[in-house]
Amino acid sequence: MARRSSSGRYGRKAPPAGTALDAGVRLLARRAHSRVELLLKLTRRGFEGEEIRTALWRLEELGYLDDQAFARSFVRRRGSVRGPRALSAELAARGVDRTHVDTAMEGFGEAEQLAAATQIAERLYARKPAPGHREILDEIGSKLVRRGFSVAVARAACISVLKGRSHPIPA
């Protein structure tokens, strides 16, 4: 059965209410978006190319839309649960330019990565304590790597967890 559109007719899309600029401001009021995310959402809402381009330009001019600030904020917010590889991939999927991603990642150095990975490792260990050091390295370390941390950072976080536990640390 054909799906009914909001205009009440089958197969026809209702014209968007308001302007692309208004819709963009409403979307940005809910949460920050990358330029590509906003472009896709405005297109899905039925706005045309030139109106979208003009709205995006105006939003950038007003300072409401800024991919660099979006990337920095994203890394700060998500850096406590994801490693640099996962963050880079998520930002790329959201259409953020590689130069903005690299600049944002500069603020997420080795010390910050290790602190975040150690915090995650502590939580994972508290949920299900592993019987020995090898199991901690295997289980928790692999979870950290899947979350985008490097093997070296994952291993260092696991060793940090082990130091706070009764398990002897292998040399």
- Sign of the C-alpha dihedral, residues 24, 52, 47, 91? negative
Tell me, yes or no, whether 4 lies in a domain.
Answer: no
Tell me, yes or no, whether 50 lies in a domain.
Answer: yes
Tell me, yes or no, whether 169 lies in a domain.
Answer: no
Measured distance CA(5)–CA(112) in Å, rounded: 48
**pLDDT at position 169, please?**
47
Tell me, yes or no, whether 82 lies in a domain.
Answer: yes
pLDDT digits (tens, 9 = 90+) for 82-136: 999 999 999 999 999 999 999 999 989 999 999 999 999 999 888 877 677 788 7
Range of the domain at 53: 20-62
The CATH number for 44's domain is 1.10.10
Backbone torsions φ then ψ of 165, nearest 5 degrees: -110, 180
Domain count along the chain: 3
Measured distance CA(144)–CA(146) in Å, rounded: 5
* pLDDT band per the 50, 70, 90 thresholds, residue 64: very high
pTM recorded for the entire structure: 0.78
